[in-house]
Structure formats: structure tokens, C-alpha cells
Structure 1
Amino acid sequence: MTYKTIVVHLDTSQRAHPRLELALQLARQFDAHLTGVFAVFTPDPRPLYVMAGTAEYYRTHEQLRAERRGALERLFHAELSRASVSGEWIATDAPANLAVPHHGRCADLIIASQDDPNDPESYVGDFFPENLIMSAGRPVLLVPYASSVTSPGAHVMVGWDGSREATRAVHDALPFMRAAKLTTVVTVNGEHGQQRSRIPGSNIATLIARHGVNVEIKDIEVGSDESIGDALLSQASTLGADLLVMGAYGHARWQELVMGGATRTILKSMTVPVLMSH
């Protein structure tokens, strides 16, 4: 298995250009076709017209967005040509929470960004990263809004608990692991992890090694006052890992999307790119 089709979500946020550069780098690395899906949040303009001054603001804002979109599209095509990467640009007026999973289902890997609370343009829909992970059916590589990692995958860290989601994440990340210098499988023990690790880390490490991956195993202890998500992020920093691989836990409860504790922590506080599968 490798990544032959990659979809990257693009918008008018400050992190769109770095996200595109990362996607291009991975498309070159894996000789993949790159699809850029441009989707943003567009509010209904009708309520704005009843507020003094807001109609003009809306028109000005939309013009600025259109200019940014045009510049990004030109950059996308120019970079494809420069890198000799095949690809296509798709711009949609559909909500990002529908459009990106829709196009991502016909890809091997989806690249998107963590929500950036400091950039309003990064908002493209409620719980966009969570919805994408849960609904796309494909692995999602999330890029932190505050990270200096530009080429992830030299040292891959796997957060392993023996679950179905973690198993899928491991297999989805094999192309990264084959190219990595080192992969470390980290299992969490302690009060939070007593009922996890149903399959030992050594077992999955053996499978990974049969794919030609240089793999090590590390067990860490987590006390009652530390979350598993924080422990994984701390361990990634200690190891110097530049890519975290883990399963994503969540379910729909009525109209609410409920994510697992470790998943919530990672999505909020990630410091390195994270490949998540559900």
C-alpha cells in the first residue's frame, strides 16, 4: 500500500499555504495525484442586511476572499507544474463538512488543519476536524496551527492501545513508516489504560517490522492525574517524533458529536502532525 491519491483541504486561512506546501511535498514523496479542495464557511448574508453597515462589510469581505482564493488557485497550479506533480483544483460552494469528506472518500490520504482559534478564516464549520475524521472513512493527516514541522515522518510514534481504531491507523500509516528512519510503538499503562492494550505492543510491532520498518517499543506509565492524550504528546516531544499515529474515538449522540478523551486532547493541543483513523 502507498498513497497514490491525496486530497488537501484549502481555504483562506493563514495556514493554507503551509498546508499546501506539505501536501505537495508528500505528493512528490509518494508519487501521488494531488487534489486541492477549496471550501470555506459562507454565512447567510440576508440577516446582515438588516444591520446598519454590515451589508457593505460583507461585500468587501467577500471581495477579499475572492482575491485570496484566486491567488491560492494560481499558486496551486504553479506549484504543481514546478514539482511535476499531477493534480486538480476543486472549488465548491458546499459546506466544508460535506464537501471535504465527499471528495476525500476517493483518496488514500486527506490533509487538513487543526482549528486555529486565533484566525477566524480557519473556521469552515462546526467541529470540522472531528467531522472529517469520523465521516470520511479515510486516514486524516492533521497539521497543527503552531508547528515548525514541514516534512513529517522521519520518526513516527504510534499511540497503541490494541483497539480497532488504532489497528486501522497503524495500517493506514504504513507508507509513512516504511519511509521513516524509526517508528516507536508507545503503549500506555496505568489507571487510564488498564482495559486497553488488548493486543500487546510487541505483537503489532512484529507486524510492522515484517513490512521492512525499523520499529521499537516503549511502555509508559500514566497516573490518575494525567490524561492519556497529554502523556502521548509529552512522549512525542521526549522522543523527538515528528508524526503521531493514533486511532480516533467518537460517536454521534443525537445531533452531538462526542469524541473520546485522548482524541479531544490531541485535537486541541497537538504539537506535531497527527495521522488519525476511525
Structure 2
Amino acid sequence: MPAHSLGRTMSFRTILTNLNETANNEAVIATAATLAREFEARVTGLYVVPAAPVYPAARYEPIPEMFETHREFFRRQSASVEAAFRAGFPEGSARHRLRIDKSASPLIADSVIESGRCYDLILLSKTDTKSELGVELDFVPRIAVAAGRPVMVVPFKKPMTSVPETVVIGWNGSREAARALFDSLPILQRAKTIHVIWVDPPAERSRSETSPGEGIADALNLHGIKVVVTPVAGSDKTAGEILLQKAADAGAGLLVIGAYGHSRLSEFILGGVTRTVLRDMKCSVLLSH
């Protein structure tokens, strides 16, 4: 029986869409519009104007011109963001709005984390690591780990134009993987083909009567979701590289993984799979911690 006929199909009803990675806003806004149509969701576009950074150890006092340059840059960017959002969400709908927040923090991620906890889904762009005009380098993983909400990341210039028919899920039995999988249920219930990939399942599990991934397959079946579980032996590739390859081979429109990472003093330590996927992703990625 198709998931649509169960009467219990889950949904993302509220979506926070960050628009600070301005070079990719067209793809992010188009993806938000696609999700809004499918899930009848309310979309909030959020552009954060961060506080100007102050360096107490500097040998000079910040001069007013520095703050004025900061304000002028974000004023111009705000106008560009507003134009892009209006183009993606024409007037006439009460289900979308644009917020421009002036933050007390110099980190854009802080505002997105605080706001995002009130939404079903946080939509972000892949970070352009070569640009100094967008977000912090650890922006996406920091939000995925700290917000407590599922985060969907859109690759550059590749918007999601329809809900994915094919989804690949990275599974290893961990808390993070479980959170990501069940957070993606609204999309899984609409997908036609779902691959659950377990890279190097523990040897003691493979020797047991229950095959790797059988438990999660049974759980999803109760939601009307049929999956193909594939244990994959390790190779010269990392787990992240294997998941990306499986997603590419399957023509997946979404890759679902747990977000692994933690803060240590001022440094953010990112797990290897998460780091590889966010660096080399070619399709949208849903992350949960």
C-alpha cells in the first residue's frame, strides 16, 4: 500500500531558510519553494546581519569607518537578498516571509541556531569555502549539531525541483544516524526507492541471525516505507566517499546522514563522514545530530 494512502503521512510544516550564502540563494530559494508546495509549508527566509567583530587584543581601537563599512556591506546584501526572495516567492501568499535580523553576535550561525529551533526543518546552502563574503567555514555542521532540528543542505546551482524519488541513507546504528533517518520520514514516505547503506557493519552483527539493517527496515515498513538494505565492505575509500558514490550511482536526489561533531574550546571538530559529504556533495543532504 502506498504511503500516501495510509492517512498518516508526515510533513514539514515550517521551514527556516537561511540566505546568507548569497551566491547560491537562487538554488536555496527554489528548493524552499519546492518543499513549500509539497508539504504546504510556511517558509521563513532569514538573512542575518552579524555584529561587527571586535578584537580586544588588537593594538588599535576600532575606528568608526570600520563599522560603517560593515553596515553598508550588509545593507547592500540585504537589498539583493530581498529581491531574490521576492522573485522566488511572488506576492500573494501568506505562507512565506523574509526576516532580516540584526544580530548581537559576530557569528551568523548563532542567530540561525536560535531561530531554527522553532522550525520543522532548517534549509541551508553548501558553504563556499573560497569566498569571504558568505558564512563561517563551520556554519553548516555547527548548526546541524547545535540546533536540535534536521538540516537540509543544498549544493551549488542544483536546486531540488521536486521531492526526491530516490533517497540514500547512511546507517550505522548510531544515535545520530537514527535521528537523521526518522527526521527524514516526511520525504521517505514520498520516495519510490530508498537505499539504506551500512558501511562495514560490526562483525558480531554480521554473524548473528539478524542481518545488518534488518531492524531499521522492519521499523520503516510499519510506516509504509520499503527500503533496500545493503551492507558494504570497506575498501580503499572512506565511508563518506562510499556514501557519495552510492548516491551518485543511484541517481539519488537526497542523501541522509547523521551529523557527527563537537566543539572543543574555540575549535569545532567535525566527524570524517560529515566532513567528506559536506565537501563533495552533489545532491541535497539531510543531516541530524
TM-score (norm 2): 0.82
* Structure 2 CA distance for aligned equivalents of residues 68 and 253 of structure 1: 32
| Structure 1 position 113 matched with structure 2 position 125 | yes
Partner of 1:138: 149
Matching of residue 221 in structure 1 with residue 196 in structure 2: no
Residue 261 (structure 1) shift = 1.2
Tell me the CA shift for residue 9 of structure 1.
0.3
Counterpart in 1 of 2:102?
A: 93
1:274 paired residue number: 285
- The alpha carbon displacement at 1:238 in A equals 1.0
Determine the structure 2 residue equivalent to 1:181: 192
SS in 1 for 2:189: helix
Say if 2:33 and 2:89, in contact at 8 Å, map to a contact too.
Answer: yes
1:80–1:86 CA contact under 8 A, matched in 2: no
Q: Deviations over 1:237-259 (max 9, x none)?
A: 11111100011111222332212
Q: Which consecutive aligned stretches of 4+ in structure 1 deviate over 3 angstroms post-superposition? A: 40-47, 61-65, 77-85, 146-152, 193-199
Gaps of 5+ in 1: none
Whether 1:159 aligns to 2:170 is yes
CA shift, 1:143, in A, is 1.2
In 2, the alpha carbon distance for the partners of 1:82 and 1:212 equals 37
- Cα pair distance change 1:40/1:17, threshold 3 Å: farther
- Decide whether aligned partners of structure 1 residues 80 and 211 sit closer, same or farther in structure 2, where only a CA change above 3 A counts: same
Change (3 A) 1:126 1:194: farther
| % same residue | 35
| RMSD over equivalenced CA pairs, Å | 3.1
Corresponding residue SS for 2:244: helix
Q: Equivalent residue of 1:179, what SS?
A: coil
Matched, 1:201 2:210: no
1:97 Cα deviation from its structure 2 partner = 1.4
Aligned to 2:243: 232
**Conserved? CA contact 1:152–1:273, under 8 Å:** no
**For the residues of structure 1 that align with 2:49 and 2:141, how far apart are their CA atoms?**
16
Alpha-carbon distance between aligned partners in 1 of 2:286 and 2:220, rounded to the nearest angstrom: 16
Deviates more, 1:74-83 or 1:200-209: 74-83
210, 214, 221: which one pairs with 2:222?
210
Per the TM alignment, residue 120 of structure 1 is displaced from its structure 2 partner at its CA by 2.8
1:2 aligns with 2:14: no
Aligned residue type for 1:175: P
